Structure 1
Amino acid sequence: MTRSGVSDRLLAAALHGLPRERAEWGQAMRAEMAAVDSRSERWLFLLGCLRVVVLRPGTWSTPRLVRFACCAVLAVTVGGIATAIATSSNPGQKLREGGWILALLIGSYLFGFLAITSRRCAATARVLLIGGGAGLASVGAAAVLMFAIPPVPRSIGSTVLLVALAALGAAALAQRPHDDRAASLAGLFAATVGSLGIVILVDIIASAGPAELIPIVVPTTLSPAMQISESRIELVDPYIGLLFLGAVMGLLLGITALLTRSRLATGWRPRGETPPAGGPTRRR
């Protein structure tokens, strides 16, 4: 691929996230890029386009922002896992033993995030903000409890309760009369975000948190320094269960988002809601 081809592809990727009403604007940018001959000027033009795309008000819709944030968090998570495996004593064995499981888990989260932020999904900006906000609230509540009442819990019981409360709260806030789609999507999204966020929080505490937050989960015959060091390694293990729970929620989220999308595509609408003119209808 030529350097000019790289700049063209980067511009196309940036413009792909534009709303439909900005499509002509993006096409004009690509046409101007094609008219620039100098390689350095093409890159300068690309930087200018990226700045405008990112900073222009109204360019980024809520679903696109949510998708970007979720994918960025997943990318950082995958990077952290890859680094941990690469720096381990036997990375090849770890990949053979658990690589496919991690791939399935990350794939489930990605499936859910992409499905709920797709253009044809029934999740509105309100649903995304309620679900994502509730999930982040559960992560914040977990952080407050861990710092206020140290050390970090050895089991995931309390964090599962926080995630469940976040999901129920999001579902209640997003509930609409005669339509349970918004509540289901918001609740599942909150559970997915909360589960993943708490696992990341515990991993950060285990890696860089103060010693008073680390529960001693190894034999006390070791020296105090070794107890803390080994306990940091063991602390994350129980929270793998929460990671699995979040992956299941992500899978259910993706399936629910696809089902609501198919309903919209066939013209299904909640009882009492006026169908669009000329569109097909299906009564419940």
Structure 2
Amino acid sequence: MYTIGEFASLGRVSVRMLRHYDAVGLLTPARVDPHTGYRFYSEEQFLQLVRALALKDLGLTLGQVAAVVHGRVDREELAALLRERGSDLRERIRRDTERLHRVEARLRALEGDAMSLEHIDVRALPARTVAVGSARAEGFNQPQIGPVVSSLFGKVAAALQTAGLTCDGGAVSFYEAVEAPLGGDGEVRVFAGFTVPAGTPAGEGFEVVDLPAVERAAVLTHKGAMATIGGSWTVLMEAVAENGMVPQGRAYEVYTVSMPAPEEEWVTELQVGVAAA
């Protein structure tokens, strides 16, 4: 079972959004503690969540998403819904080009089999030590989280230089959903920084975190601009769920090619530990 904060982190949504999904009957917690009111979600609900997020990302209404997730819409009806949404997006192509591409990709997927791991690398991840800074973002969407990550990289690089340390290790970021007290809106705590040698001491402007080795992780390589990285996360998480796995631990973004290269040449590995469901 996952707590609501853990489930929000794995799904890359806010705690507030999960509460809303519960209120509208889209995704109800598997269990609610009668004494504390704390909400818990089962591993089986992870597939429902990633499917709901994928469909919602395409612009379907919550009512339509709920109908699909709960099996009230068949394959042909879903294809018809997506084709109609594609037509709407074409009328607003200058503002919604990226979303239109995801709709068409979803239609192509409907004509084939379930999501496969053909483009997903499943491998072990080594233990690593990272010097990171942290800050809050309002949500997991790229416009909310991107500027925070960029700012943290600059601050941590400067802090390491001041401390006489080099930051020639790979850049990495990870996130945690934060549940607000008394039912308030949750936020995202963002961590971003650089791989450093084990035993590096913390310093002013950065903390040092030892990230454990991961025996089995699903890894997807995202190429190009960060504006579309959310779609790559959706592909990775849906492939994981469709192939009978559940995520474990933190999910990471590791930037193997970034500044000063042009953003269209950037290469980012999306990594998440997995286990059999």
TM-score by length of 2: 0.22
Structure richer in helix, relative to its length? 1
TM-score by length of 1: 0.22
Which structure's CA Rg is the greater one? 1
Structure richer in strand, relative to its length? 2
